[in-house]
Amino acid sequence: MSNIIGKEFMFKTKYKFLEAPDQRKGLPQPPYQLEYDESLRIIDLPKPDIIKISDVNLREVIEGRKSVRKYSEETITLLELSWLLWSTQGVREIYQNSITMRNVPSAGARHAFETYLLINNVEGLKTGIYRFLAFEHKLIEINLDKKIADKVVTAVLNQKFIKNSATTFIWTAVPYRMTWRYSQRGYRYLHIDAGHVCQNLYLAAANINCGVCAIAAFNDEELNDLLEIDGENQFVIYLATVGKKE
């Protein structure tokens, strides 16, 4: 039975099986950003319009792309982190108060992700889990447990280079943002969109002499629990480590 789950998913998300999505039923669309506890510490990031980085040749970046698992001890600056976040989920425009235009493509401009960060070696930030507030272009502290990096390593099947990264991006999906428009087929698009976001991280990191390694192998329940999300209405979909190249 277990060896046909993937085939069954692809089969049952064909258009001929789909029910009318909630958008067509006239139900209100979900918010483009989850609520957050405003009593938690919020950190300002350098604004996108002041970010200045070196130019790189796009062809050289594409042809030289590789996953990097070894990093130097050099710190990533807050400005550089701001650049990476802007490149992967930055909100350029809010259109008609219902659509966000960002720096990555997304099916129907649904942008169903939230970005969390495991911070290990970033200027001015303590080690811990943070969440990126894309609309405000700020960070919010989530968990500063001194052992949080070790717990993330365990949840990601003991891939120890995570702890040696300057930061690890942890993207979570909020599926109803996508299924509201596309019904159950939207689950396909979540995984496609995750590729768009991570590819932008690879490209943006090249501008600041950083390497990236995308990660899809993790214990879903353990990682969801660390982020205090339910694994159904919001769940981890993809990760990527970032650090200065040796």
pLDDT of residue 107: 97
Tokens encoding 75: 């710190």
Average pLDDT over the chain, rounded to an integer: 96
**DSSP codes joined into one string, 57-96:** -HHHHHHT--B---B-SPPBPHHHHHHHHHHHH-EEEEET
In a domain, 16, yes or no: no
pLDDT above 90 as % of the chain? 93
Number of domains in the chain: 1
Q: Is the pLDDT of residue 1 over 80?
A: no
Q: Look up the domain containing 142 and give its range.
A: 55-244
Burial of 138 (C-beta count, 10 Å sphere; 0-12/13-18/19+): middle
**DSSP label at 36?**
-
Q: What confidence tens digit (pLDDT) does each residue in 78-113 have?
A: 999 999 999 999 999 988 777 899 999 999 999 999
In a domain, 105, yes or no: yes
CA distances from 152 to 37, 130, 227 (A): 22, 13, 10
In a domain, 8, yes or no: no
Between 3 and 212, where is the model more confident? 212
pLDDT of residue 26: 97
Q: Is the pLDDT of residue 55 over 60?
A: yes
Q: What is the CATH number of the domain that holds 110?
A: 3.40.109.10
Q: What confidence tens digit (pLDDT) does each residue in 163-194 have?
A: 999 999 999 999 999 999 999 999 999 999 99
